[in-house]
Amino acid sequence: MQSRSTVKYLETNPTGSIPLMIRPWQDLYEKDYAPGCLIFCKQDKSGRSPLITCADVPTMNYLLAQGHNGDPTEKKVMFDDYEFFGVFRNDAGKQVDHMGFPMYTNVKQRLIQCDVYGRAKVANFWGRKLRTGDSLEIALIFKNIAQIKKPNRAGIAMPRTPRLQLVPLINGCTPGTNVKPPDLDYAPLPGGNKKNVLSYMKDNGGFIEQMLNVPAIRAACLDRVLKKWRIGVVSQSAFEPPSDTNITLAMHSSQQRTHLPQVEILMI
């Protein structure tokens, strides 16, 4: 019988990774997903196909911005259509040619590994003032935007309009400040409470149009948090700081996101 004192325990933080087969986008957004990016997965999967519709942060911001201008070719994306899944770790199905350029074994699908638990390295959307133990979050916030941009294309200018967008938070605060964006004020919204308001949003396309016309609704929603996800806790304070310009560009461009340095986190 083995005594308790002789049992060896590994004092490490194990990492849990899950394979993910990505469904291709018509505009090939998934080709720009790279290690360190945050992966969000669509929730209404149906059928027997193993392919999952996935989006990184720039793709999510585009999907949330489009579809509210009466264009029948654009589909509205609701606040609960996608959920945070994990951090892109590596590409399990990509090869390179003799010149070192990516060469996909199957252009219609892509197999990746995503970290969902333990240590991971993530693109630093949160800025240069990170400390060990800081909680890194991504929130859905109603913001005024002046352009709509596909993650792999140039942006198109539009009148300043409130749209849900993904915004990074540190310990619940806007990066570089001690200001916590408030939650939605549900009282003046249709339904009067959180449960009824969220149900109304799902049935009425996010009431974006009403926000444009009703000052009380605009005030209750603009720059307020609808939903947020905890990405992880900073576990290594020694990192290369990103520039504010690169962070701003990376929120809307998958290719620019590859320019962001990575920071080590602990996903719990």
Q: Is residue 3 part of a domain?
A: no
Q: Is residue 81 part of a domain?
A: yes
Query: Can you tell me the distance from the alpha carbon of 151 to that of 26, in angstroms, rounded to the nearest whole number?
Result: 13
- Please say if the pLDDT value at position 268 is more than 90: no
**Which residues lie across from 155 on neighbouring strands?**
149
Which position has the higher pLDDT, 206 or 199?
A: 199
Max Cα-Cα span within the chain = 75
- Please say if the pLDDT value at position 155 is more than 50: yes
Q: C-alpha distances in angstroms, 51 versus 41, 74, 85, 134, 217?
A: 11, 22, 14, 34, 38
User: What is the band of 102 on the pLDDT scale with cuts at 50, 70, 90?
Assistant: low
Q: Mapping DSSP to helix (H, G, I), strand (E, B) and coil, where does residue 180 land?
A: coil
Q: Enter the tokens of residue 23.
A: 């469904």
Q: Which of 120, 63, 48, 52 is nearest to 87 (CA)?
A: 120
Q: Is residue 215 part of a domain?
A: no
Total number of domains constituting the chain: 1
Contacts of 4 (CB under 8 A, 6+ apart): none
Expressed as residue numbers, the domain containing 64 is: 16-181+223-267
Q: Is residue 6 part of a domain?
A: no
Amino acid at 176: G
Q: Is residue 1 part of a domain?
A: no
User: What mean pLDDT do residues 109-126 have?
Assistant: 91
Q: Is residue 199 part of a domain?
A: no
Q: Enter the tokens of residue 29.
A: 């957004």
Q: Is residue 213 part of a domain?
A: no
The pTM is what? 0.85
Q: Where are the beta strands (DSSP E) in 106-247?
A: 110-123, 135-149, 155-170, 225-234
6-58 pLDDT, tens digit each: 555 555 667 889 999 898 888 889 888 999 999 999 987 666 778 889 999 99
